[in-house]
Structure 1
Amino acid sequence: MSAPLRIHWCSPLDSGQQKASEKYNTGALDFAGIVDFAQEADELGIDSLLMGISYHMPDPLPMIGALVRETERVKFILAYRPGLVPPTLFTQIVNTVSWMSDKRISLNLVAGISPDEQAYYGDFVAHDGRYERTGEFLDILHRFWNGESPLTYHGAHYRIEKAQLGLPFKDAERPRIYLSGASDIAQQIAIQHSDCWLRYGDTPEGIAEASRTVLESGCSVGIRMHLLARETREEALAAVESMMENPDEQHREWVREFVGRCDSEAVKTSFRLAEKAQHDWLSPMLWSGAVAYRGGPALCVVGSYQEVAEYLFEYKKVGVSEFIFSGWPTRDEMRRFCKYVLPYLRELETIWDRDHA
C-alpha cells in the first residue's frame, strides 16, 4: 500500500484573503489573522503550514514559536536560509521549538533566489557557493542530531570547534528536511542531505523528467503550487477570469525586473514555462497566467473538484508524494480543497492501492 499524499498549505501573511494579480501587502503584521488561519488548517487536517522567508515578510521563527502554542496537530515547515545564523545556534533554536511543539517542526532550507536580497543581509556568496554552504550547514545539523558531541567541523564555509548543545531534538529525533531548488547542484544537495526535494510546479510529464534522479536515489519529491477548484469547470474558468480583472500592471513590472536580476534556476524555469504556455495554459488543467504577478509558486491547477483531484493524482503516479498548496483567496481554497477535492483524491489512492495490491 502506498503512503497517502501529504497535503500542506502555505501560511498567508494575514487571514488569507488575496487576489493573484495584486501586489503583496507589506508594512504591517496581522498576526491574529495568521493565528486564525493556522487554527482552521489544524481543524481541517492539513499536515503542515509552510512559513516562508523573504525580506518583505515577517521572520518565520518567532511566529512558529507563537503558533505552536495556538494549535494542536498541524506542523510547521520553517523556511530558512543558511548564512543568516550559525548552524549551532540554528540547531539549538530548532531543538527548542521541538520541545515547545511536541516535534511539530520541519525545515525547508532555501539557498536564496536573489543576489540583491542576499546583499540586504550582508551575504555575497554566488549561486553554487550558496548551495555548497547549504550542504555544509545540513551536514552539521545532521551531525548534531546524530549525537556527535563535541562537534568539530572544518569546511569551506563553516568552522566549528568542540561544539556542544545541552538540549537535543525531542525524543532524540530530528525534523523532516526539505531542500528547494531546480538546479543540478540543488538536486545533489537534496539527495545528500534532505528527505524531500521541493520544487515549483510543471506538468506531470515535466515533473517526471526532472525528478528521475532524485526518485532513483530514494529521496521524496514535493511540489509547491496553487489550486483553483470549483463545482464545475465552467465555474473555475469564470473564477480565473474574474480574478484577473484590473490587474496591477505596476506590480507585474516589478516582478519582471526582480526575476531579471535573480539567479535562481527554479524561478527562471517557472517563468520560461509560463512564457511558452499557449494563452496562459501549459495543459488543459495547468494555468500559468498568475506567474507574472506571483512568481514560481503561482502555477495553478484549475478545474472541477473531480478534475483537480484526478490531475493531482497524475503527479502521484510519477512519484510526487507531497504538495504545498496556496489559493486565491487561500483560506477559501483550503476549505474547498479539504471538503470537496481531498475526498476524491483519497478515493483515487484507495482504488490505486487495491488495483496494485
Structure 2
Amino acid sequence: MTVRIHWSLPLDSGQQSASGGFDAGVVDVDTMISFAREAEEAGVDSLLMPMSCYMPDPIPLLAALLRETRRVRFILAYRPGLMSPTLLTQVINTLACMGQSRVDLNLVAGISPQEQAYYGDFLEHDDRYRRADEFLGIMQALWASREPVTFHGQHYQIEAATLGLRHPGDGRPYIYVSGASAPAKALAEERADCWLCYGDLPAKVGVHAAPLLQAGKEVGLRLHVIARETREQALDAIAEMMARPDEKHRAFIKDFVSRCDSEAVKGSFRLAEQYPDHWPSPYLWTGAVPYRGGPAIAIVGSYQEVADYIREYERHGIRNFIFSGWPSRDEMRHFCGGVMPLLQKEAVHA
C-alpha cells in the first residue's frame, strides 16, 4: 500500500453523530487504550492526538498510550505559544524514548483568536506563523546538534540551550504542518516533512499541493469517511446520522467560525456553501461541516468507491490520509475491514 492511513483518536466522546454536539469533560483512558490497540491490530499507521480547549490535554494521554502499544505511531498536535520550544523538544524526546520513537509532531499555529485568547495568546494570524517558524527552527536546531543553541528572534530568546536527553538515535520526529494560507504553506515548505490540509476535490487539492510536492514535501488530507459494502448503505448511514441534528450546536459552530481567522476552516465552509446539495462530487460530502467544522468533509461510498477515490487523490500526489468517522471506532472497523484490503491489493498489482 503506497498511501499511509492514519486515524484521529477520539479524546472526547468519539463524536457519535455527524450533527450532534460535543460531549466534553470526560477522560476515559481505558477506552482510548482499547481504541489504540485495535487500530494497531488493524494496520493503522498513526493515531492523531488532537488538541482543543474542549478536549483533555494530549501529552499525558500520549504517555499512557505509548506504554500500552507496540507498533502504531502517534501524531501529537500542538501549538506554539503554549510552552517554550526547548521544553516541547524535551517533552517529545522523553515520549520518543518511552515509545521507541513512535511520536511525530503536527504543529498547528492556531485557528481562532477567541480560543487562542483562552490561553493568553493574542498574536494575529501571520504573526502566529512567524512565531511557529522560530519555534520549529529552535526545535530542529536542538535535534540537529549537540552544541548549545542560542537564538534571538522576534518571539523567542534562547540562550545556550542544551538537553541531556536526546531524541533516540540523535533523530527527530516526522513533522506535519497544517493550514491553507500562504504563511502556512511557506512554513510547511521550510520546516515540515508533510503539509496537511482539509478535504476538497482531488484536482483542487492537487493544484495546491503541487508546489509543496515540487519542493520535496509530502502532502496529507484530514478527512472523515463513511464506507459501507454498498453505496446505498453508506447513504443510509448519512441519513441516520443527520436525522436528529443539534441546531444549538450548529449555531455555536457558526459563531465560532465567524471569529476564526484560519483559511483552512473558512475554506471548508466556503466549499460546503458552494454546493447546497452537499455533494461537490458523487463521493465527497460536506453535509456535516456546519456541525463539525473543516475535518467533517467526508469521502462517502462503497468500499470500492472509497478506495478508488483515495487513489484519485494519490494520482495528485497525496499519500497521507488522517481519517475520522461517526462513531470513529465503528467507522475505523468498516474502513480497515473493507477499504484497506482493496488499497493493499491494488498496490500489489500496480
Q: TM-score range by the shorter chain?
A: over 0.9
Instruction: State which of 41, 44, 59 in structure 1 corresponds to 2:42.
Output: 44
Matching of residues 174-253 of structure 1 within 5 Å: 174-253=172-251
Residue 15 (structure 1) shift: 6.8
For 2:186, give the aligned amino acid.
Answer: Q
- Give the secondary structure class of the aligned counterpart of 2:136: helix
The answer (yes or no) to whether the contact 1:15–1:37 under 8 Å persists in 2 is no
Which position in structure 1 is the counterpart of 2:86?
88
Residue aligning to 2:115: 117
Provide the C-alpha distance between the structure 2 equivalents of 1:253 and 1:276, rounded to a whole number of angstroms.
Answer: 19
1:180-231 deviation line (CA, Å, top 9, x unaligned) = 0000110000000000000110010110111111111111000000000111
Query: In the TM superposition, what are the counterparts of 1:120-139 in structure 2 within 5 Å?
Result: 120-139=118-137
- Is 1:69–2:70 an aligned residue pair? no
Structure 1 contact 79–108 (Cα < 8 Å) conserved = yes
Asked if the contact 2:110–2:262 (Cα under 8 Å) also holds between the matched residues in 1, the reply is yes
**What's the CA shift for 1:339?**
1.1
Return closer, same or farther for 1:17/1:83 CA change in 2, 3 Å cut-off: closer
SS in 2 for 1:23: coil
How far has the Cα of 1:255 moved from its partner? 0.2
Deviations, residues 297-349 of structure 1 (Å, cap 9, x unaligned): 00001100000000011000000011000011110111111111011112223
Deviations 1:94-144 (A, max 9, x none): 101110000010000000000011111110110000001001111011101
In angstroms, what is the RMSD of aligned CA positions?
A: 1.1
**What residue in structure 1 maps to residue 32 of structure 2?**
34
Would you say the 8 A contact 1:107–1:176 is kept in 2?
yes
Gaps of 5+ in 2: none
CA distance in 2, matches of 1:129, 1:154: 16
Structure 2 partner of 1:60: 58
Aligned length, in residue pairs: 350
> Which of 8, 11, 30 pairs up with 1:10?
8
Q: Write the deviation string for residues 237-288 of structure 1: whole angstroms up to 9, x where unpaired.
A: 1111111001000000100010000100000000000000140111000000
C-alpha separation in 2, matches of 1:270 and 1:148: 42
Give the structure 1 partner of residue 265 of structure 2: 267
Q: Corresponding residue for 1:78?
A: 76
Counterpart contact for 2:13–2:22, Cα < 8 Å: no
- The 2-side partners of 1:185 and 1:273 are apart by 21
Distance 2:185 2:298 in 1: 23
Deviations 1:149-186 (A, max 9, x none): 21110111111011111011011110000000000110
**What SS class does the counterpart of residue 40 from structure 1 fall into?**
helix
Residue 26 of structure 1 deviates from its aligned partner by 0.8
Letter in 1 for 2:50: G
- Give the distance between the partners of 1:295 and 1:16, measured in 2 at CA: 15
Contact persistence 1:16–1:37 (CA under 8 A)? no
Partners of 1:198 and 1:271 in 2: how far apart? 17
Residue matched to 1:254:
252
Corresponding residue for residue 316 of structure 1: 314
Counterpart of 1:21?
19
> Quick check: 1:15–1:34 contact (8 Å CA) kept in 2?
no
CA contact (8 A) 1:17 1:331 kept: no
For 2:179, the aligned partner's letter is: G
SS of alignment partner, residue 283 of structure 1: coil
Q: What SS class does the counterpart of residue 180 from structure 2 fall into?
A: coil
Question: For residues 153 and 146 of structure 2, what CA distance do their matches in structure 1 show?
Answer: 16
Structure 1 counterpart SS, 2:120: coil
Give the 3-state SS of the residue equivalent to 1:4 in structure 2: coil
Contact kept, 8 Å, 1:15 with 1:33, in 2: the verdict is no
Aligned mates of 2:292, 2:12 — CA distance in 1:
16
Secondary structure of the structure 2 residue equivalent to 1:73: coil
CA apart distance, 1:42: 1.3
Structure 1: 5+ residue stretches without partners: 353-357
Aligned mates of 1:245, 1:17 — CA distance in 2: 15
How far the C-alpha of 1:39 sits from its partner, in A, is 1.1
Q: 2:138 aligns with which of 137, 140, 143?
A: 140
User: Residue type matched to 1:257 in 2?
Assistant: D
What SS class does the counterpart of residue 223 from structure 2 fall into?
strand
TM-score (norm 2): 0.98
- Give me the identity figure in percent: 56
